[in-house]
A and B are shown apart, each in its own frame.
Chain A
Amino acid sequence: QQPVQSPQAVILREGEDAVINCSSSKALYSVHWYRQKHGEAPVFLMILLKGGEQKGHEKISASFNEKKQQSSLYLTASQLSYSGTYFCGTPTAGNMLTFGGGTRLMVKP
């Protein structure tokens, strides 16, 4: 079952904050976050392995609420380099990662 991401797209001004959500209809063991810049391959940002865990990467952090079966990615004081598509991935049967539909983030000067 594919996780659901929201919003589908976000446009920000440099310095503004954004939140991207990822939710699943099934129990989550972990949540992975990736960023894909235009014309490039997705790059791993972080993994959250247990409920309540929060992690950070630059000014990007994430939380994982196991009970609510969801994770949120927080982008603080966004920079132009944050532009891209963000994907969350959740493990399915057979330990495969299935990805959400992606959230397109555009940061403008």
Chain B
Amino acid sequence: EADIYQTPRYLVIGTGKKITLECSQTMGHDKMYWYQQDPGMELHLIHYSYGVNSTEKGDLSSESTVSRIRTEHFPLTLESARPSHTSQYLCASSALGPAGSSGNTIYFGEGSWLTVV
């Protein structure tokens, strides 16, 4: 059972507000990820990190930013939310393993549902 936590689970905010989605894991995993997923749709990688002070943009361009100051913590921030940011955001983590190993197994948090009105 994976231990990865996201807060808030559900959030409704007004356009232009700044928000931070929190993500923490207690497994000591080096790699962490943020995926964006619209209901019933694909998982799109928007940010990832190999470890402390490492952040990279994923396949899908996003106006959000991330930081990785501590191994266990990988928050995502939207400086000025817009209705187009309405979506589910899934945080995930995995151990640092080579491509052919079980170290790539990704464990997901329960997700943060963001609605921007």
Contacts and interface: CB of A to CB of B under 8 A. Distances in A.
Chain A interface category by residue count: 20 to 34
B105 A96 contact: no
B42 A29 contact: no
B100 A30 contact: yes
B100 A44 contact: no
Contact of B40 (A32, A85, A99): A85
Contact of A95 (B59, B104, B110): B104
Contact of A87 (B43, B48, B59, B110): B43
B110 A49 contact: no
A94 B51 CA distance: 13
Interface residues of B, number: 29
Contacts of A43: 108
B90 interface: yes
Contacts of A44: 105-107
Nearest to B44: A99
A47 B102 contact: yes
Interface string B73-117: 000000000000000001000101111111111111111000000
Sorted nearest first, the 5 A-B pairs with minimum C-beta distance are A29-B100, A91-B99, A41-B108, A29-B99, A99-B43
Given A32-B104, A47-B102, 11 more contacts: A29-B98, A30-B102, A41-B108, A41-B110, A49-B100, A91-B104, A94-B56, A97-B94, A97-B104, A98-B45, A101-B42
